[in-house]
Amino acid sequence: MGHSYEHLIDRLNQHQQLTRANHLETIIKPIPDSDRTGDLDPRVFATLTTNHSGDEPDGEFNLAVARASMGWPNRDQTTTAIKTEYVKIPSVDGNIPARLYRPHHTESVPAILFFHGGGFFGGTLETVENPCKLLAERANAVVISVDYRLAPEHPFPAGLNDCYRAFEWVYDNASELNILKNRIGVAGDSAGGNLATACCLMEQERGKARIRYQALVYPVVNLGSIPTDDFEWTLDAYDISNHHDLIRGVVLALADPDSLLNDLYLQGKADVTHPLVSPLLAEDVTTLPPALIVTAEYDYLRLEGEAYARKLSEAGIPTRLIQYRGMDHAFMDKLGDYPQAEDCMNEIAKGLKELTK
């Protein structure tokens, strides 16, 4: 212990296990300052054992409390000035608020739309502001963070339609925004990862291929945890050697056995098996853009994220899967505290930069 934050970032970048098969590149990033496996990163352990969250008693769900408990006070890690612009994207359903984060540039640069997480019913642009600013800096790209409508007030597909509409607006206004029309990607964390890849599926449905890259950070891709030929959720898939009860609790935190969160999002408007709700169940993914999928070792959503990476790669989509060992869900929010959060934004930036023109 005692390594500097910068040293830990370097180690995450250098010490990684890489395998390639079919169209899938899998990168395992070990805990940067520990040789232990089957355990939490020491920073995650410290967070979990010093911040006992006030979980609701079983059977009770308070929407306002759940929304208020989301996010984490993270830090701005940029070293250059990033300009923030507040825009309203016109839509038939009312204007969609968004924030544009722009690095200093005079030539046209790529763009990436970012959709925040929060179970489709929560989350804010504030929580992802610092990650988006860092992504703008590291990718030298304009990042558009979209304040899509939330359930249950606006059930599926309202939020998804907002995200897709925001993409179309960026594409249509590329020259005014000084961005490269053929270098636009989508990204998001958790529920936002679901919205990002669902936008790619919508684009495919329309026979277009204007979205060139998707970066999905611990995405929700199978809302009902429905078994498929290549996916079945099991706790046995998690390597737990230490702090068994704590880690089991962390992994199971996002299980939704009563389908409460799904019902909030869907409100009976669609079935949980709808491909735009659960992209892992989509029949055709053959023309989706290249993908980066990021998972956390001790996250309930890890197994479905990995299954989605395999599905895309088997369909011939260039796919990179990164697993951060010892991490739990929502680690991206801990930018400035967890070096993995910064490394994750660097990896998204790298994927955007590698896009062929």
Out of 69, 108, 175, 190, pick the active-site residue.
190
Active site residue 190: yes
> Closest Cα partner for 83 from 45, 34, 137?
137
The phi and psi torsions of 59 (rounded to 5 degrees) equal 90, -15
Residues with a known catalytic role: 190
